[in-house]
Each structure stands twice: as C-alpha cells, then as structure tokens.
Chains A and B, each alone.
Chain A
Amino acid sequence: MSDYIRRLPVYLLLDCSGSMSGEPIEAVKQGIKTLISELKGDPQALETAFLSIITFDSSARQISPLTELMLFKEPQIQAGGATALGGALKVLAECIKNEVHTSTATQKGDWKPLVFLMTDGAPTDNIDEGIDALKQVSTGNIIACGAGANANANTLKKITNNVLMMNNLTAGDMAQFFAWVSSSIKASSKSIDAKPGEAIELPPPPQGFVIVP
C-alpha cells in the first residue's frame, strides 16, 4: 500500500572556512557521522527525516542533496578560504525551492524544513542578498549557532531569532552541538504540539551554550 508519510527536510549549513581547519573540521565530520547514526536509531526520524548538507568557504555549495537517511553518504569536507555565509543562504533558498515538495490538491507536501547553521566567523560576503532570497521560501525553525570568539551574534540575529553561541570550538562542544541537533530533529519528527504555523518547540540547548535573547 502506498504510504502517506510526509518528509521532514533538514538542512545543515556548515562553515568550512580556513579558521575551521584542524580539530574543528574533524569534529564536524565526526559530528555528522554521529548524527546520522543517532537518527537511524530513532524510528520516527528514520521514517521522516531527509538530510542535506550545504558547506561554505569562499563560496557555497550543496555537497549532499536532500536524501533519506538510509541512503545518505557522508560527504567529503575540507576547511579553507573565506566565509561566504550570504552565498550559503542563497544556495539554501534555491535548494528548498527545488527539493521541498509543496502540497497540491492531490499530493501531500513535506513538513517545513528545519535549518541548522553553524559558523565560527563573520561573513565575508553580503548576507543581505542571502536573507532576501531566504524570505522567498517557507522554512520552519532556523537555528544559527555561532562558535568561538569570532562569531557575531548580531549578524546571526539578522537571519533568525534562534541564535545560540558556544564559547569555543573544542571537539567536546562540537559533539554536544551535534547531539543537540539530533535530539531537535527527533523531537520535530514526533511533535505536533505546536499549533499550525508556529515554530516547533526544540529541546533546551546543551550546557555551556548561550541562547542570545
């Protein structure tokens, strides 16, 4: 029998600029691995969540198209270059436009996409164009996480109201960030506590992370 399960599209936007070299980028790779394995262990997430990864350095690109978890292949990631955050937002808007199914009179559409953005520095391109592009598509929660001393909360606040700051870029912090992303995706795949149109309630961020009011 056909199934009528909606997909929950999840986009990870990851900063791969030069400052991420070394331990941070290795921690990101490990984080993605753990995230996939965690989500595959949760029946609801496994059934509904689809994952895509967009990376940005001097430019931005989608390195993993929106894919169901069982077929997801870990991408090759390298750090180097500048921080094209604006470009990443434009790529995100384009991907959402192309990949996320909207409802029609005869076909059930996807859930609103969940977006996690992680960056460790200030953007080196114009993010306003990216923000404008993003306004043209429908998203659910966008969570921006600034990592380390050079991340700027005010810049991230222009993109979304949900901004978290983590003080440093250690492997432990990065692991906690990905663990939190994983529980947020699990919670979103189960919950419809929120009334229609409202953002889904996510679990509290890990200790040591500051929510920017």
Chain B
Amino acid sequence: MLSGTVLQAVLENGNTIEYVYDANAPRGGMKHTFFTPDKQFAIQFFNDPKNAADPRMQDRIRTIVGIYNPTLSEADGGAVGNTDKTAGYFRQRFCWPLAIVRQPEFGIVCPTYPRNFFFGSDASTVLNLKGKDKKSNWFTGRNRKYLSPDERGNFRTMLGTAIGLSRTVRRMHQAGLAHSDLSCNNVLIDPRTGASVVIDIDSLVVPNKYAPEVVGTRGYIAPEVLATLGLDFNDPRRALPCVQTDLHALPVLIYEYLFFRHPLIGPKIYDPNDAERDDFLGLGEKATFIENPNDVSNRPPDLDVTIKSLSKGLEELFIRAFVNGLHDPAERPTAMEWERELLRAWDKLVPCDNSRCEKKWFILRDAQNPVCPFCKTRKNGKITQMLFKSEMRGRKGVFRDKGELVVYDKLPLYDWHVYSNIHNDEKANTDIAAYIAFYNGMKLLVNQNIDGMLSPSGRLVPKGSAVELKDGAAFKMTGGENGLLCEVAVSG
C-alpha cells in the first residue's frame, strides 16, 4: 500500500474515522501510529497481532477508555465523580485513549499531543528539532545545552512541572491505576510554562484485570522489577509494574527536573568487567542513591546543589524514596505526598536577585540565610513570611499550621491561602484572591476578591484595599467561615 492512502477505521461504537496510511509509521515497542488527515487524532495498532487479539488486553483497554477515564465527565461515561471541570483539567494533562477501533483490527484512538509539546523552528540553533516532541530528557540531560535559552525554563517552571506530574500520577493512583512505564519518553514537558502531559496510557495496570507485559524504560524501572526480570512472568517472586513501581519512577523524574541528573547514576562501579551487568546491578539489586547520607560509595565528588538545597519536606521525601524505599517499595512516598510537599515548596520560592542566575528562582530553606543555592547570591533586604493557621474544629482558639508563604512583589494568593477547607488541586478556583505589592518600602497584601478580609485590628479590609505585612502582625484572611489566620514573620 502507498503511503498517503486514506483508510477508514470502524470504532466499537459503530462510528468511523479516517486515517492516513504511512509505510514508515512511527513505531514504539508495542504499537505503531497513524494519524487522521487533520492530525487531530492518532490511530494506534499493535505491532504483534497476538497482542491485538488478546481478549484480556482488549478488556483492560475498554475499562481504561470507559469507567476509569478521568478525561471524561461521569455524565459522559467517564470516571465516577468526575465533573466537567476536572475532566477538562485532566484532558490537558493526559493523552488518554478516546475510543477503540474494531476494524481493520483492534486498535485505539488518542488525541494528538497539544501543540506546546512540540518544538518550534526556533527551539535550537544547532539541531533541527521542529516538530519533535518534547521528551523530558531534552531538558534534563546534557542535550539541554543545544536548546535555545527560551526553551529551557527555570527552576520555578521545572518545580511547576513536577507539581503537575505528581498531581496527574496521584489522579491515576487514586483510581487504583498504575501507569507502569512512567519515563522521560512517556512524560512530555514544556519547561517554558511548566506544563506536562502523560502519554502511552494504554499500558496502564488496571485493578483486577490481566496485567500488561511491560517492563518499563531504562533508568525508571523500579529496582525490584529489574532485579527479578530473569524470573518467569508468572513466578510469584517476580516484581511487576504497579502503583509502587510508579512511585519509584515519579521521584526519579522529579529529581531530574530539579537537578538535571539521575538519582542513581553516579561513579560507583558494580561490575568492572561487564557494562551491561554493571548497569543491571546499579539500577537494580544494588542501586544506591547518589546522595545517600549513610553510603557515599556512589556519590559524585563534585555534588554541589543537593536535596538539602530544597525544602526540608522535599529532602525527607527524597530520602524516603531513594534511601528507605529504594529496595523497600512499601516505604516510598505516595504521589499525593509528593504533590503536597512540592506545593509547600512552591510557596517558599523566591526570585534570585542575580539577574544572570540561570535558575532564576530557589526554595527558601532558611529565612536567616537567604542564599541562592545555584549561584550563591545572597538576597538583599528582609524576608517576609505569612504563616497560615487554621482553627481546629470544635476547639475554639486552638490553631494548627496550614502552611507558609514567602512573599515577593506581585505574588498572587488564591482561595487555598484564604480558606482552610480549600486545597490547591484540580477542583480549586484559580482566580486571584489577593496579591502582594511592594510599595514605598512597605509590603502590602492587597485584597482583590476576598469577602470579609480583616486587618490586624479586626477591621474589614474591602476589595482594593490592603494590609501592611509587619513583623508580628496577625489577622484573619477572612472573617467568614473556614477563614485562615495569618501571622507575619519578618527575618534578616
């Protein structure tokens, strides 16, 4: 058949869709891909007819397209509890299969990746990358240097990418689904904006359905999976991809986004006689975190910026993921914990005062010592923090910590900085509630859209008015129900 011939596929719901035959169709490990004439959709078929014909696999994919689908609202046949808003949110973050092809053979229909996940013509001056997809290792390995600076983003956008990915993975895990092959190839990222999209959804592990025979991608496979690869697929000792193995791949990606290096690939030699075996041990049975505080055998001699340069909470999660949990899957932090800790770190971001700092932002670890870990520039002036507390239900006057926000000029605040019962997630309203303005030497919190914001003396602060953030000041973000208490701390 000639490339360019337009063919017709029949879907399981009886509809038809046209696609363009291509003799050199892009071919992955499992599937090859054709596109609709308008390139809005990808039609994927399996390389191996045995796979395509397997009723257990077909059954698994039907549930992925239907009852487990977070990109369709419950009313449209998607996941239970999914609203139009959350479905729309996850449509931007997953390339989720939309339909199943019945003829000419079993296959799936997916949306094509959004445009911002393809390089434009100005992405690089030394490589022709136009139209290539933005696999995350373009940005985290040494290839980074070939990209134009605009493409590379900064520390803040990479942290945003990590938040988005952990939320996306959390959403899958919430439904009991495991991706099973999270990797630099299956997560496309756009560091200019901090957006990410998870692709290759059809190899998901679905509860109570026959597991797909995927192993994963080098560097992202959980150590126990690699260590037991030699055993038969049905051997009970064989570790197969599951939620816990995703919880290894997720922090590997997060670590790469934040540090541009792999957490397990260091100088340690595991087998001096055989490169393949060396790798097999170093990423599997004998894997050692390069920043393991108790075992420095794999630590690069020139490590400078480390997990200690992040927030305390993130440092602890990385230790749990790559020290305690590296060979003990039950110890690994959940995607929800990653999402929460990354969001806390986001609220501690400050801009670096050095205009030439490549990272532009850093996480403030110690307000007494506000130094950028990347370029070592000390921040000028004092650091102002807003400490949020919520009153415990039924115990008037008893408060617990609900987070901290390090302020900088033009910082926006949202509903989750105002109400104790609102969290920064896919359901939250993202209209600006208030913002910070540095004005005439004062640091002001300006009320944009909060009903009932109160001043330290208990007076109403109307929309458009502001509270000055002075050391020791305390006020309610709103006097209404579930309003957070804010205490101001100025240091340095």
Contact = CB atoms under 8 A, between A and B. Distances in A.
Chain A CB within 10 A, most for which of B127, B217, B276, B283: B276
Q: Main SS of the interface on chain A?
A: loop
Interface in A78-133: 103-112
Interface in A27-45: 37, 40-41, 43-44
A195 B229 contact: yes
Interface string A171-213: 0000010010001000100111111110000011001000000
A197 B280 CA distance: 10
Interface in B33-59: 47
Given A43-B137, A103-B272, A109-B275, 18 more contacts: A1-B300, A1-B302, A2-B300, A2-B302, A37-B128, A43-B135, A43-B143, A47-B137, A47-B142, A104-B272, A108-B269, A110-B275, A192-B226, A192-B279, A192-B280, A193-B215, A196-B277, A203-B27
Contacts of A176: 24
A119 B73 CA distance: 58
B141 to A, nearest CB: 5
Categorize the interface residue count of chain A: 35 or more
Contacts of A37: 128
B290 to A, nearest CB: 9
A196 B128 contact: no
A129 to B, nearest CB: 27
A99 B240 CA distance: 38
Contacts of A1: 261, 300, 302-304
Given A5-B142, A106-B269, A203-B27, A196 B303 contact: no
Interface residues of B, number: 47
B125 interface: no
A103 to B, nearest CB: 5
Given A192-B279, A195-B280, A207-B23, A105 B127 contact: no
Interface of B: 23-24, 27, 29, 47, 126-129, 132, 135, 137-138, 141-143, 146, 184-185, 215, 217-218, 221, 226, 229-230, 261, 265-267, 269, 271-280, 283, 300-304
B303 A6 contact: no
Given A2-B302, A47-B141, A106-B269, A41 B275 contact: no
Nearest to A172: B23
B275 A108 contact: yes
A137 interface: no
B274 A179 contact: no
B96 to A, nearest CB: 24
A106 B261 CA distance: 20
A104 B272 CA distance: 5
A169 to B, nearest CB: 19
